[in-house]
């Protein structure tokens, strides 16, 4: 960060800390005019707005004044900021992002403080501002983290409100899914297509919805009713089929496709369709055309060790930073790159000749979470670690084991231990995971007697009642229900297992620094003596690993935990040579 930008950012943050918000917003305007947008400038903006939101909430609590009135009063004192909001064109849309986020933060803070009326008013304002924005991909996901009672209260209070903008209807789609009102959700999806039938559903919001672990079969059934009524659900039907295909429900997907083949094939298939779904529905002849999509393009670039192309394939800033770091390391090492050979692989062992030890890596429920194993492997190659990559095709957070390794959890642990002992019988064993894979990394560390674990945004419990009551977390309800039929949750209580870890075990948890469900989960690891919880400041999203890649060197982060014993240094140097 340049000295000038750093000084200007500190100036804006100092104004905000002193509650001099007119000057703080003025400083933000100066930063926008003088520097290109970057994660540093956006983080500064987020912190100023957060301070502003907290100031307004405290004023409401201390003075008993309605929150929206205080908000309007403070904005009225910031004439320059209001003028910018009144401008037309791109500048107004850009500023609407910030104002929408302020209202959202007001709503959430007010609800937690017990100001129900204020919370719902602010939430309605935030949602109304979505109509003033354009490319708001990524801005809808945070709404899915709202407490369910708050969503239910908003739904009841907003009956009759006109929400015509596609983004508003897409949000209604997500809210209705949370509430289990699948027919209403499908109608909201259809409404979002009313103005532009070719409009694609926001990618990041789509990914966030997939993490909710909903009753996908039930949603597909409601989409089927809409098909019969000639509704605009072509994209939705393919989307639900894609999710079910990933979940191993090939029979349901095939039956649905055969019944509605003419409807599904009448229009261009969505770009997100993967090879597994095409194989499930018998469209193997189309797999060759699908090979030019992202996964196959990435595989081709990896095989050719074309690192410039690898990096260019990632558009989102956090993913691109991750890819840039991985590509730099892989290019430096000039070692064979791990390229997955099949979507269906559940176990892959890479770098058997790496001298330093073993790391067991767990994918999240979203087929790899926020990182790709092929890129992640560059970091483990640099550290001289043999990597065992696992994917849970049962989508049971690895609690039912991996069939390729053994029948059930205990047999899977024995199978893993056998592989590790064959490759590195006397070397350190580490585990690594993201999201649900982060939970599994801690769970399996106990069974493998691992030396250390790095876990990003892991849940602390799989019990659905505890997750919803303590954290307002409903993201894995179906997974939990599937598990409840087969396992005893007490066996997977990390609060019980953590004290049983060996004395030298080290757990490092990275969680979002801002208040959100993932922050609450991560904080639950803090009481354990062998756990080190580290916050990624200014982050409230699930992708903590990506956010960290934008701020720190991941090889330094990983290497500080997965550190080679001094006796292995010569072998490691020789291996890299």
pLDDT value of residue 84: 41
The rounded distance, in Å, linking the Cα atoms of 452 and 506 is 5
- From the number of C-beta atoms within 10 Å of its C-beta (0-12, 13-18, 19+), residue 568 rates as middle
- CA dist list (Å): 198 to 183, 304, 443, 494, 557: 22, 35, 44, 46, 43
Taking the model in full, what pTM does it have? 0.57
Domain ranges of the chain: 1-133, 135-214, 215-291, 341-576
The rounded distance, in Å, linking the Cα atoms of 418 and 136 is 49
In 3D space, the residue among 571, 475, 558, 561 whose CA is nearest the CA of residue 518 turns out to be 475
In 3D space, the residue among 140, 200, 204 whose CA is nearest the CA of residue 175 turns out to be 140
Helix (H, G, I), strand (E, B) or coil at 362: strand
- CA dist list (Å): 564 to 148, 401, 419: 46, 29, 20
The rounded distance, in Å, linking the Cα atoms of 242 and 132 is 32
List Cβ neighbours of 72 (8 Å cut-off, separation of 6 or more): none
Sheet architecture: strand order including 531-536: 347-350, 385-390, 357-362, 429-434, 452-456, 506-512, 531-536
pLDDT value of residue 431: 97
Architecture of domain 341-576: 3-Layer(aba) Sandwich (3.40)
Reading the chain (577 residues) residue by residue, the pLDDT tens digits are 445 888 888 898 999 888 887 788 788 888 877 887 776 777 787 788 777 767 776 665 555 555 545 555 555 554 444 344 333 333 443 444 456 777 787 788 778 777 788 788 888 888 887 776 555 545 677 888 888 899 999 988 887 777 778 888 888 999 999 899 999 999 999 988 886 777 778 777 887 788 776 888 999 999 999 998 887 888 899 989 888 887 767 788 889 988 998 888 887 778 777 666 777 777 765 544 434 455 667 777 777 778 888 888 777 777 888 888 988 898 888 666 676 654 456 888 999 999 999 999 998 875 544 457 888 899 999 999 999 999 887 777 888 899 899 988 999 999 999 999 999 988 999 999 988 899 999 999 989 999 999 999 998 877 766 666 666 665 655 566 556 666 666 677 787 888 888 778 899 999 998 877 788 888 889 988 889 999 998 887 778 888 898 889 999 999 999 986 544 445 444 443 4
pLDDT value of residue 423: 94
């Amino acid at each position: 960060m340049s000295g000038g930008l750093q000084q200007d950012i500190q100036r804006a943050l100092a104004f905000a800390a002193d509650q001099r918000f007119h000057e703080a917003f003025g400083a933000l305007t100066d930063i926008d005019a003088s520097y290109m947008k970057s994660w540093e400038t956006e983080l500064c903006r987020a912190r100023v707005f957060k301070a502003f939101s907290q100031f307004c909430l405290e004023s409401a609590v201390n003075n008993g004044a309605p929150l929206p009135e205080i908000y309007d009063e403070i904005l009225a004192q910031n004439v320059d900021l209001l003028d910018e909001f009144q401008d037309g064109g791109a500048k107004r849309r850009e500023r609407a992002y910030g104002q929408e986020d302020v209202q959202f933060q007001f709503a959430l803070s007010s609800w937690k403080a017990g100001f129900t009326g204020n919370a719902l008013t602010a939430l309605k304002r935030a949602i109304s501002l979505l109509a003033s924005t354009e490319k708001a991909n990524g801005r809808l996901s945070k709404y899915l983290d709202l407490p369910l009672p708050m969503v239910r209260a908003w739904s009841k209070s907003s009956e009759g409100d006109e929400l015509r903008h596609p983004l508003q209807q897409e949000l209604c789609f997500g809210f209705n899914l949370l509430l289990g009102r699948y027919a209403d959700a499908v109608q909201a999806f259809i409404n979002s297509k009313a103005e532009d039938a070719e409009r694609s559903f926001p990618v990041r919001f789509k990914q966030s919805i997939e993490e909710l672990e909903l009753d996908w079969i039930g949603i597909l059934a409601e989409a089927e009713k809409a098909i019969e009524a000639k509704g605009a659900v072509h994209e939705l039907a393919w989307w639900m089929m894609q999710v079910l295909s990933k979940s191993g429900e090939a029979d349901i997907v095939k039956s649905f496709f055969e019944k509605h083949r003419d409807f599904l094939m009448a229009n261009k298939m969505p770009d997100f369709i993967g090879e597994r779904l095409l194989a499930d529905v018998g469209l193997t002849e189309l797999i060759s055309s699908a090979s030019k999509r992202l996964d196959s393009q990435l595989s081709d670039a990896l095989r050719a060790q074309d690192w410039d192309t690898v990096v260019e394939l990632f558009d989102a800033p956090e993913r691109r930073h991750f890819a840039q770091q991985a590509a730099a390391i892989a290019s430096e090492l000039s070692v064979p790159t791990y390229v997955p050979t099949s979507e269906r692989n559940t176990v892959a062992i890479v770098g058997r000749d790496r001298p330093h030890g073993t790391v067991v890596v767990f994918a999240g429920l979203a087929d790899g979470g926020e990182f790709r194993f092929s890129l992640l492997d560059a970091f483990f190659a640099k550290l001289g670690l043999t990597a065992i990559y696992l994917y849970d095709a049962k989508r049971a957070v690895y609690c039912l084991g991996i069939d390729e390794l053994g029948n059930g959890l205990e047999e899977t642990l024995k199978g893993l231990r056998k592989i590790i002992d064959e490759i590195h019988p006397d070397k350190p064993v580490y585990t690594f995971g993201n999201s649900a894979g982060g939970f599994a990394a801690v769970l399996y560390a106990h069974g493998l007697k691992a030396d250390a674990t790095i876990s990003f945004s892991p849940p602390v419990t799989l019990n659905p009642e505890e997750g919803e009551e303590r954290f307002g977390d409903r993201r894995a309800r179906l997974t939990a229900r599937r598990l409840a039929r087969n396992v005893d949750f007490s066996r997977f209580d990390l609060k019980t297992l953590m004290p049983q870890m060996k004395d030298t075990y080290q757990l490092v948890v990275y969680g979002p620094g801002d208040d959100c469900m993932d922050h609450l989960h991560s904080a639950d690891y803090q009481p354990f003596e062998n756990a080190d919880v580290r916050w990624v400041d200014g982050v409230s999203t699930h992708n903590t690993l990506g956010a960290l890649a934008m701020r720190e060197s991941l090889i330094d982060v990983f290497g500080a935990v997965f550190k080679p014993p001094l006796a292995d240094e010569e072998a490691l140097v020789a291996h890299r040579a």
